[in-house]
Structure 1
Amino acid sequence: MEVRIETKQEKPLNIGRKFRWTVVIWLLIGGIINYLDRANLSIAAPEMMKELGLSVTEIGLLGTFFSWSYALMQLPSGWLIDRFGTKKVYTIALIWWSGATILTGAVHKMSSFIAVRILLGVGEAPCFPTMAKITSYWFPKKERGLATGIWDSSSKWGPAIAPPLLVFIMVTFGWRALFYITGVIGIIFAIGFVIFYKNPEKSKKLSKEEFEYIKSEGGGVEQGIQSSKIKWGSLFKYRSVWGMILGFFCTIWIWNIFLVFLPLYLFDVHHVSLKEMGIYAGIPWLGGIFGNIFGGYLTKKWVDKGITTPIKAKRALISICAISAAIVVCAVPLVKGLAITLTLLTLALCFISAITGSAWALAGDIAPPSMVASVGAIQNFGGYFGGAFSPVVAGMIVDATGSYSLAFISGGLIAGCAAICYWFIVKHPIQE
């Protein structure tokens, strides 16, 4: 691993209240709502299959249509965020995807389910690129990994909270109530975000000292794409961008399998009851939460101690975790017993989550300030466009073989390839 020894830097000024971390909490909550609205399908799947006669392949297909629309909308959403601003685009997106979630509970045919899942993907697309952009101007570079790890852990808090909460709702009110309730929560949050959120230069709650601290390492002001000297289309000419695209594809391939099939895997293979699933299906996502936050903490510590640069810290963490995830995921179908299976699933999500958090933070290091959302969205496009195939491929494997083994082993091997992409292809930031 490449390292750089630096002289010890002076400690930053005492900046008093750290209001920037309050912004992270808002991003965390928004991300949790985002993932509740996509994870509710995996919770509702057994009852939907029973009532509507859907197959495992058809459930996987719904996940694939969501991922395709989500991936394709990454490209315009990143440009829209950089062009029109984070607050405006994020608020519209919140209301859009919450409405699509409510509609999901009202439809009855497979074609209608496909349509609303496509609408959900369109609405959810701007969420994480917006968060990456907000982080880039609310935090100095050395803190972006930790801040990103916190809000990106929302993608694990959502599935962790979903099983006990949504199973209770489903058992009490029926599976359609899952979609109605989570949709309404999203609309309420959108109203709160509009009232609360302001950019750093306009925030009255941000002290002058904290604002100067944020500005000292490249943050402070949201920059629009119109001020950039680089054309949006030329981003695809950069080697580092392609490394991020390919690396995120490898990561999201196995991520989508976990997101769509983890509760069903426990239900089918380990015969976990619907009520027990509310506990057991949430346990592995706790490992994801830890991986997200601790991974961001590690990269910050490596930079604070002068071991390496922010970019190299993230690339190293991603590479180590990708290899570890590959080993653990491949071992899942080879063990017997619920306890050891849950342990391996928890470890796998810990490593995978550390990758996703650092990958999103890496967008702020690789992209120029005016194009952070665009580069983050392009990376996410690569991940979800390719990863969109994994739920339907996994569903076809399960239906054809009667086993999840090949789906996990192939997914683990693909996840391991992320190490090659992020370490050997992603190298240098884009210079304006």
Structure 2
Amino acid sequence: MEAKLETQQVKSVNFARKFRWTVVIWLLIGGIINYLDRANLSIAAPEMMKELGLTATDIGLLGTVFSWSYAVMQLPSGWLIDRFGTKKVYTIALIWWSGATMLTGAVHKMTTFIAARVLLGIGEAPCFPTMAKITSYWFPKKERGLATGIWDSSSKWGPAIAPPLLVFIMVTFGWRALFYITGALGIVFAIGFYIFYKNPDQSRKLSQMELEYIRSDGAGSEQNIQTSKIKWRELFKYRSVWGMILGFFCTIWIWNIFLVFLPLFLTNVHGVSLKELGIYAGIPWLGGIFGNIFGGYLTKKLVDKNVTSPIKAKRILISISAICAAFVVCAVPFVEGLAVTLALLTLALCFISAMTGSAWALAGDIAPPSMVASVGAIQNFGGYFGGAFSPVVAGMIVDSTGSYSLAFISGGVIAGCAALCYWFIVNKPIEN
């Protein structure tokens, strides 16, 4: 009896030590909803083009205006998060972008579609900088790569789940229902997050032992973090910040091509039907999920075994993944057969996702603790402001050449350049 009681106590202590991972699950779910609200356009695109007479360039333009508004709003969103806190900003952002998603389902003209996508970009901008900031509160530096890899995998879970789920909704209720349902889901989640989330030192479900562990390597909460002497605008003076901006631009360029055009590529080039699209369009994103989580795990192991520092571990992973992604993406147009194509697309997203996860985690290592959201948002600004061109450029290439080959080859080359940026430019943290 005593042995059984002792075993239960041990299990209780072990669970208490791991409550921080529950926070990651909430971030993961929020990120999935975020990407469902982005991916619904790519799923609805074939039906929208038929019903409203839109072209591939039009769909690319909708992807571009979202990216531009999303990118521009990164700059104020990072400052707002650092200034007013994660909980308030994230909840408001969730409700905003969910409303914009529902609005997309109600409009009929290209101009109003553009307006709805602009509003979506504004609302979604604080999402991932908030997650980076929350991670800096809840996790010591050696665990941030893995924690970030888990919640950043939401950007692959969303597109992976979207095809079967959203195609079913579209076939059953029509393409407009995609936007209504995913928007309503976000509002429900926003309410749940507001009720659940507290910073570590305010959480009643967190044991003192785990709180001390979290605080042991610079984490904690707003109250425990010393305000940086560096002003926000001065962040642009640092070499590492510019390396992150340029490197993420190279990453998001190819990322946006996959996000916007993957379903159309499978439909137009490989003859995948609408019903089959629900299965095949989700397969490559499974590789992205693996790349995110395994990449984060790998960087943690490199640090745990004292092979290298947290910063260098992430730079190594990003650089190697960028080179591998370049070769794989460039090979896509030269293979034949759906199975081989899906294998290459899956492998490409595995490498690209390892890059995005480690890049977000890198913000927590490069930035002063009080400016993690700002540096993460600035990096994301560079990625999406520059990467915003890729959907419309790819759409123009497809419309003018009737082929996706040049879009993939140019995207692969640009992705490979991320290795140069993160390895040679991002080399030391910002010092107060």
Partner of 1:132: 132
Please state how far the C-alpha of 1:74 moved relative to its aligned partner. 0.1
Is 1:161 aligned to residue 161 of structure 2? yes
Query: Could you say what the CA RMSD is over the residues aligned between the two structures, in angstroms?
Result: 1.2
Is 1:31 aligned to residue 31 of structure 2? yes
Q: Secondary structure at the match of 2:201?
A: helix
Map 1:133-148 onto structure 2 (within 5 A): 133-148=133-148
TM-score by length of 1: 0.96
Instruction: Write the distance in 1 (CA, Å) between the matches of 2:349 and 2:266.
Output: 15
Instruction: Write the distance in 1 (CA, Å) between the matches of 2:16 and 2:104.
Output: 46
Please state how far the C-alpha of 1:20 moved relative to its aligned partner. 0.2
Partner of 1:429: 429
Contact 2:226 2:369 in 1 (8 A): no
Distance 1:422 1:223, change over 3 A: farther
Q: Secondary structure at the match of 1:107?
A: coil
Query: Which consecutive aligned stretches of 4+ in structure 1 deviate over 6 angstroms post-superposition?
Result: none
Partner of 2:10: none
Is 1:244 aligned to residue 237 of structure 2? no
Distance 1:96 1:427, change over 3 A: same
Q: Secondary structure at the match of 1:227?
A: coil
Q: Secondary structure at the match of 1:428?
A: coil
Instruction: Write the distance in 1 (CA, Å) between the matches of 2:419 and 2:358.
Output: 13
Instruction: Write the distance in 2 (CA, Å) between the matches of 1:200 and 1:76.
Output: 25
Aligned letter for 2:192?
Answer: G
Partner of 1:91: 91
Partner of 2:6: none
Map 1:80-119 onto structure 2 (within 5 A): 80-119=80-119
Is 1:337 aligned to residue 345 of structure 2? no
Instruction: Write the distance in 1 (CA, Å) between the matches of 2:431 and 2:211.
Output: 25
Q: Secondary structure at the match of 2:429?
A: coil
Map 1:183-198 onto structure 2 (within 5 A): 183-198=183-198
Contact 1:69 1:121 in 2 (8 A): yes
Q: Secondary structure at the match of 1:31?
A: helix
Please state how far the C-alpha of 1:225 moved relative to its aligned partner. 9.4
Please state how far the C-alpha of 1:226 moved relative to its aligned partner. 8.9
Instruction: Write the distance in 1 (CA, Å) between the matches of 2:151 and 2:303.
Output: 20
Q: Secondary structure at the match of 2:61?
A: helix
Is 1:296 aligned to residue 300 of structure 2? no
Instruction: Write the distance in 1 (CA, Å) between the matches of 2:43 and 2:292.
Output: 23
Instruction: Write the distance in 2 (CA, Å) between the matches of 1:407 and 1:225.
Output: 45
Partner of 1:204: 204
Distance 1:223 1:255, change over 3 A: farther
Partner of 1:411: 411
Contact 1:224 1:371 in 2 (8 A): no
Q: Percent identity among equivalent residues? A: 86
Partner of 1:309: 309
1:57-95 deviations in whole A, cap 9, x for unaligned?
000000000000000000000000000000000000000
Distance 1:388 1:282, change over 3 A: same
Please state how far the C-alpha of 1:54 moved relative to its aligned partner. 0.2
Please state how far the C-alpha of 1:220 moved relative to its aligned partner. 1.2
Is 1:152 aligned to residue 155 of structure 2? no
Instruction: Write the distance in 2 (CA, Å) between the matches of 1:58 and 1:225.
Output: 46
Is 1:390 aligned to residue 428 of structure 2? no
Contact 2:240 2:429 in 1 (8 A): yes
Please state how far the C-alpha of 1:228 moved relative to its aligned partner. 2.0
Instruction: Write the distance in 1 (CA, Å) between the matches of 2:233 and 2:47.
Output: 45
1:274-330 deviations in whole A, cap 9, x for unaligned?
000000000000000000000000000000000000000000000000000000000
Please state how far the C-alpha of 1:14 moved relative to its aligned partner. 7.0
Please state how far the C-alpha of 1:224 moved relative to its aligned partner. 9.4
Aligned letter for 2:74?
Answer: Q
Aligned letter for 2:27?
Answer: L
Aligned letter for 2:29?
Answer: I
Contact 1:79 1:374 in 2 (8 A): yes
- Structure 1: 5+ residue stretches without partners: 1-12
Q: Secondary structure at the match of 2:184?
A: helix
1:211-266 deviations in whole A, cap 9, x for unaligned?
00000001012269992210000000000000000000000000000000000000
Instruction: Write the distance in 2 (CA, Å) between the matches of 1:194 and 1:287.
Output: 32
Is 1:214 aligned to residue 233 of structure 2? no
Instruction: Write the distance in 2 (CA, Å) between the matches of 1:123 and 1:421.
Output: 29
Count of residue pairs brought into register by the alignment: 420
Aligned letter for 2:100?
Answer: A
Contact 2:166 2:178 in 1 (8 A): yes
Contact 1:82 1:223 in 2 (8 A): no
Please state how far the C-alpha of 1:17 moved relative to its aligned partner. 3.2
Partner of 1:6: none
Partner of 2:399: 399
Contact 2:64 2:389 in 1 (8 A): yes
Partner of 2:175: 175
Q: Secondary structure at the match of 1:177?
A: helix
Instruction: Write the distance in 1 (CA, Å) between the matches of 2:325 and 2:255.
Output: 11
Please state how far the C-alpha of 1:168 moved relative to its aligned partner. 0.3
Aligned letter for 2:77?
Answer: S
Contact 1:325 1:348 in 2 (8 A): yes
Partner of 1:4: none
- Structure 2: 5+ residue stretches without partners: 1-12
Q: Secondary structure at the match of 1:106?
A: coil
